[in-house]
Amino acid sequence: MTSAWVEPPDWVRAHAPAKINLSLRAGSPRSDGYHPLVTVFQAVSLFEEVTATADDDVRVTVSGEQADRVPTDESNLAVRAARLLARRAGITDGVHLHLSKAVPVAGGMAGGSADAAATLVAVDELWGTGASRDDLLDLARELGADVPFALVGHTAVGTGRGDVLTPAMVRGEFHWVLALSDHGLSTPAVFGALDRLRDGAHVEPNPEADVAVMQALRSGDPHQLGEALHNDLEPAALHLAPRLAAVQAAARDAGALGVVVSGSGPTVAALARSESHAKIVATTLTLAGVADRLLVATGPAPGARLLP
C-alpha cells in the first residue's frame, strides 16, 4: 500500500521556549577553553516564534522586543540552522525566516538557541525532509550548547557543554518572575570574569549534579527549590553588572522564595509561591524601578514544536 503524495506547505510556524538555569556548576576550563558544565535547565512559558515561508534563498527578518539587536546576516543562528539542515538533507530550496522575539537578547535565557530550535522544526516540515527528533538533536548540538535543550524543553540535566541532556523528574508547576535588562552580558566575558575571580582557587575539573535541586524538583516543593537555586556564574555576572544585586535584593524583599541569575545573565529569575504571588513580586519590582522589564512565566514548558 502506497501513501498519497502530499504537497508541502507554503509556510510553517513553530515556537521554542526560553530557559532558565536552576543550577549551574562550572568546572575548570579544558585545554580548548570550554568549561565542563553540569546544569539543570527548565524551559519556561516565554517563546520565540519562527514563521518559515518558501523563498529563493535563506534570509531572515525580525520583529518584537529588541529586534534591532538581532543580526540578520549569516551569523544569525536561525539562518545557520536552516542552512545546516539544507546541507544535510540535500535541499536546494530557500526559506524566509521571520523571527518574532519574546526572549531577551543576550539575557542568559537562550533566545537565539530557541530561534534555531524552532527553525529546525519549521524547515523540516516546510521542506518535508522527514528528519527524526534524534536527527534534529544531532544538528542542534552542532549549532550550539543550548540548542538541544530548546528542542527538548521541559526540565533536564545538561552535561558536557550543557548539550548532553537527561530528562529530570519534576512534580507540579513553578512560577517565575523574570527581571530583564536592556544591557546584555557576553557569555565569553562572564566566563572570563569567572576564571579571574577563581584565580588560584581549587576548582573541581568535572562538577557533579546538584542533588538539592533534583530533590526539590521531584518533591514539587517551591520553597525547597528556592533554597537550592545556584549558579557558579553569578559572582562573575554581578562583578560585570553590579546593578543586578539591587534586583536580587528587591526580589527577596518582595518575598521571592529564591533568586538566581539565569545562565550568564543579566536576567534575574525569582521564584514565587504561586501565580498570584508572582504577580505581586513583579508589581513590587516594577515599583522599585530596578529592572528594565518584568515578565511572569511558568515552568516547565514544552520544547520546540509546530504551531497550527
Residues with active-site annotation: 19, 146
How would you classify the pairing of strands 37-55 and 155-160?
A: antiparallel
- CB count in 10 Å sphere of residue 249: 13
Residue 33, exposed/middle/buried by CB under 10 A (0-12, 13-18, 19+)?
exposed
- CB count in 10 Å sphere of residue 238: 18
**Please, are residues 72 and 61 in contact by the beta-carbon 8 Å criterion?**
yes
Buried b (16+ CB within 10 A) or exposed e, 202-220: eeeeebebbeebbebbeee
Q: Count H helices and E strands in the chain, helices first.
A: 10, 12
Angle at which helix 133-143 crosses helix 111-127, to 10 degrees, equals 140
Location of C-alpha cell 531572515? 60
Residue 17 C-alpha cell reads as 521556549
| 3-class state of residue 97 by DSSP | strand
Phi/psi for 65 (5° steps) reads -60, 130
